[in-house]
Structure 1
Amino acid sequence: MNNYKLTIQYDGARYKGWQRLGNNDNTIQGKIENVLTELAGEKIEIIGSSRTDAGVHAYEQIANFKMKKNSTEEEVMQYLNRYLPNDISVVDVTLEHERFHARYNAKDKTYVYKIWNEQYPHPFMRKYSMHVEEKLDIEKMRQASQYFLGKHDFTSFSNAKSKKKSMVREIYSLEINENEGFIEIRIRGNGFLYNMVRKIVGTLIEVGLGEKDAATIPSIIESKERIQTGRMADAQGLYLEKVGF
């Protein structure tokens, strides 16, 4: 049984997210599995390192799958890119050892969030960034970002329904940069809860607009009350940028 590792890029604008949803194959996972099943002549299931939401994009999603057929890495890559939609690309395929697991072996993940911070909308980036008309205070956002660093229970910053799994995650870095009207918020951690990045970004936006004080972040984290976090940033501005192993 061969175990293949895929490096995937995708525009998530028209998909219902990464994860396969029952009979609905309008997901990234569903599209790739359908093509691989044709290649393999058997039912193929792939494992992704991150379950990105509907509308979220990826510069580097990592996945793996196993199949009996002895196809070369180049054959798998060419077949996938020939039959996948143009908004999903497989940029690398490698044969890995049998125990490689795209989700369990991932050590850290980096997400980047893009905000277009001008009065007028950006016609070419409207599907790939969140438009905030009011000028954001970057320095206040940077002050607030420091409170998220380290290991915390992020219940307040998640819409995860399960209460059985740990809500503790560790944020290694959170950087905010501005360039020609765009603000990029880059966050790296050992893992992220459902909607966690978008809720953190939403809270940082509120700080940047003067609607929330940066000093309140620690109490919001400690409260474990989701109502404290306010808005959630739009899906289209979020990108899975890198997965570390």
Structure 2
Amino acid sequence: MPRYALQIEYDGTPFAGWQRQADQPSVQAALEAALARLDPGPHGVAAAGRTDSGVHALAQVAHCELARDWEPFRLMEALNHHLKPAPVAVMRAARAAEDFHARFSAIERRYLFRLVSRRAPVTHDRGRVWQVRNALAPEPMREAARHLVGRHDFTTFRATLCQAKSPVKTLDALEIEALAYPGGQEFRFRLRARSFLHNQVRSVVGTLERVGAGAWTPEDVRAALMARDRAACGPVCPPQGLYLAGVGYPEDPFG
């Protein structure tokens, strides 16, 4: 059966995450329902990242198999037609090698977290950013972030229910960009690694926010990392500012 790679964008607000659930809407279920309209029968779709409830994607990658040999552009158009009105869009489709796997073939995942600091409630970005009312200093957050880059035991920044075999991960990059925002300031956290622990990004960003607010020092973040204790973590920020921004492979499946 022909295998296809799909690059997908979605607003995670109405979903209980990527993964199919028995009694709640999911991105996976929406996509599989659209595929069933094109190719009758059950469909299994695998994705590079199982985003949590409320988490968005700019460039999730998934793969599926279909009985019919579809021209990729027509497959993309047909899926987008049947995905309506769900806030999910297939941005690219391509024929993939038989051994391509959206999750296991990936060598890099990139996440973006958007944090807005302003007093007035956000309106246009509601549900798409984490808003705090206090001002934040970017340089202390950047200094603290440098302690987290590299290969570490991230037990402190790992959800207690995380199913990963090891808490040791290599964080390849953690960059913080400060931007002007109407009535305040926006901070964009960009993280890159081969893989992440459950809630690792939200735990890191929530902790760094405390540094920007002056409640923690950069050295406190280093001490929390070295503690290897979940209780040493700062607050875990909410999901709405988190985006799966990209997935890397040894060869680009979309050419």
Same fold (TM over 0.5): yes
**Number of the residue aligned with 1:104:** 104
Q: TM-score, normalised by structure 1?
A: 0.96
1:184 is aligned with what amino acid?
Answer: R
1:116 and 1:206 map into 2 onto residues whose CA distance is 14
114-123 or 65-74: bigger deviation = 65-74
- How do 1:89-128 residues align onto structure 2 when only pairs under 5 Å count? 89-128=89-128
1:14 is aligned with what amino acid?
Answer: P
1:28 and 1:100 map into 2 onto residues whose CA distance is 21
1:190-229 CA-partner distances (Å, limit 9, x unpaired): 1111111000000000111111121122321222211111
What is the Cα deviation at residue 86 of structure 1? 4.3
**Number of the residue aligned with 1:219:** 223
What is the Cα deviation at residue 183 of structure 1? 0.9
1:205 and 1:162 map into 2 onto residues whose CA distance is 23
- Aligned residue pairs total 244
Q: Once the two structures are aligned, what percentage of the paired residues are identical? A: 33
**Number of the residue aligned with 2:248:** 244
Q: Secondary structure, in 3 states, of the residue corresponding to 1:182?
A: strand
1:78-113 CA-partner distances (Å, limit 9, x unpaired): 111001034100010000110000001111111111
1:171 is aligned with what amino acid?
Answer: L
**Contact 2:46-2:63 within 8 A present in 1 as well:** yes
1:155-190 CA-partner distances (Å, limit 9, x unpaired): 111115256711111111111111112111111111
1:7 is aligned with what amino acid?
Answer: Q
CA distance change for structure 1 residues 183 and 18 in 2, over 3 Å: closer, same or farther? Answer: same
**Contact 2:164-2:197 within 8 A present in 1 as well:** no
- How do 1:157-172 residues align onto structure 2 when only pairs under 5 Å count? 157-161=157-161, 165-172=165-172
1:115-150 CA-partner distances (Å, limit 9, x unpaired): 111111211112110111111111100100001100
2:222 and 2:32 map into 1 onto residues whose CA distance is 42
2:86 and 2:164 map into 1 onto residues whose CA distance is 39
2:15 and 2:164 map into 1 onto residues whose CA distance is 29
RMSD of aligned residue pairs (Cα, Å): 1.3
**Contact 1:25-1:31 within 8 A present in 2 as well:** no
2:226 and 2:63 map into 1 onto residues whose CA distance is 37
1:79 and 1:98 map into 2 onto residues whose CA distance is 22
Q: Secondary structure, in 3 states, of the residue corresponding to 2:34?
A: helix
1:89 and 1:175 map into 2 onto residues whose CA distance is 28
Residue 71 (structure 2) pairs with residue 72 (structure 1)? yes
Gapped regions of structure 1 (runs ≥ 5): none
Gapped regions of structure 2 (runs ≥ 5): 250-255
1:203 is aligned with what amino acid?
Answer: T
**Contact 2:6-2:94 within 8 A present in 1 as well:** yes
Q: Secondary structure, in 3 states, of the residue corresponding to 2:144?
A: helix
Q: TM-score, normalised by structure 2?
A: 0.92
Residue 24 (structure 2) pairs with residue 19 (structure 1)? no
2:74 and 2:110 map into 1 onto residues whose CA distance is 30
CA distance change for structure 1 residues 178 and 220 in 2, over 3 Å: closer, same or farther? Answer: same
- How do 1:147-186 residues align onto structure 2 when only pairs under 5 Å count? 147-161=147-161, 165-180=165-180, 181-186=185-190
**Contact 1:160-1:193 within 8 A present in 2 as well:** no
95-104 or 205-214: bigger deviation = 205-214
